[in-house]
Every structure is written in C-alpha cells, then in structure tokens.
Amino acid sequence: MAGMNGTSVLILANTGTPSVPAYEVVGYQRDTTIDESSEVIDVSSKAERAQRVLPGRYSGSMSLDALYVPDDEGYLALRAALRNGELILVAIQEDDVVIETVAAHVDSISRAHPDQAESTISISLTFDGMPEAAGS
C-alpha cells in the first residue's frame, strides 16, 4: 500500500450558508495538521493490579499554514468567523474529494510578514462535535 502525498490533503472553508455550503480551499496551503483524540476514563480498582479504562470525551482540532493572500475567500471566511465569534463549517479534502465536514471554532489566526521573505498565515481551529462523512 502506498502512502499519500501531503499535497493531496487540503482544508476548505464554507463561504456559503450553513444550509447551502459552498466550500473554498484556503489558498496557498503549505502544511495541514489534523488532530483527533479521546480522553481516558480510569475505572481501575484495588481488586486488580492492571489498569482498566473506558473511552472518554472525543476532541479534534486542525491547523494550517499558508501564504498570506489578503483577498483569499477561504481565509476571509475563517477571519470573519473568528472576529464575529461564530462557528464555521470546514471540510477536509483528499485527492480533490471532500471526505469529511465539521463545524469548528477558529481559535487563532497569526500573520507573519518578515523582511525579504513571503508573508504567511497560521490558523488553528477546534472541532465542535465529530466530523461527519461528506454527504451524510
């Protein structure tokens, strides 16, 4: 089985409405990280030495780094959600196909404008709920 090239995975932001989403790629992405985890509930007792656990609360987040393009529609949608204190629907795309969508809170947007180098953005989001398979 061959691995996937990282350039095949992109984050898209909803520039439409919640009921009629229209996804736009956050332009000029360089790096994308998607994290998912489940807390552990320790249900061990004195009756045995081995630890016993149950799955706890699920959480997810994503971050991306991209070139700064001030009029990029995906970036503008994420910035508007951050400034307005609203959740935004985002999508995960692999090989040009949207595979999952999730509502997310935009935690932060950082812009870097170094001397004699490209301007970049870094965006962090936290999932509100679990991702859903596209089309479900």
Given this model, what pLDDT does residue 136 score? 65
Q: What is the pLDDT averaged over residues 27-36?
A: 95
Q: Is residue 61 part of a domain?
A: yes
What is the Cβ-side half-sphere exposure of residue 91, based on CA atoms within 13 angstroms?
24
Query: Residues, the chain, total?
Result: 136
As a three-state string, the secondary structure of 69-89 is CCCCHHHHHHHHHHHHCCCEE
Cβ–Cβ contacts within 10 Å for residue 133, how many?
9
What is the extent of the structural domain holding 123? 6-133
Q: What is the pLDDT averaged over residues 8-22?
A: 92
Given this model, what pLDDT does residue 55 score? 96
Q: Is residue 1 part of a domain?
A: no
What is the Cβ-side half-sphere exposure of residue 74, based on CA atoms within 13 angstroms?
21
Domain count, the chain: 1
**CATH number of the domain residue 105 falls in:** 2.40.30.200
Q: Is the dihedral of CA 128, 133, 135, 136 positive or negative?
A: negative
61-110 pLDDT tens trace: 999 999 999 999 999 999 999 999 999 999 999 999 999 999 999 999 99
Q: What is the mean pLDDT of the chain?
A: 94
Q: Is residue 28 part of a domain?
A: yes
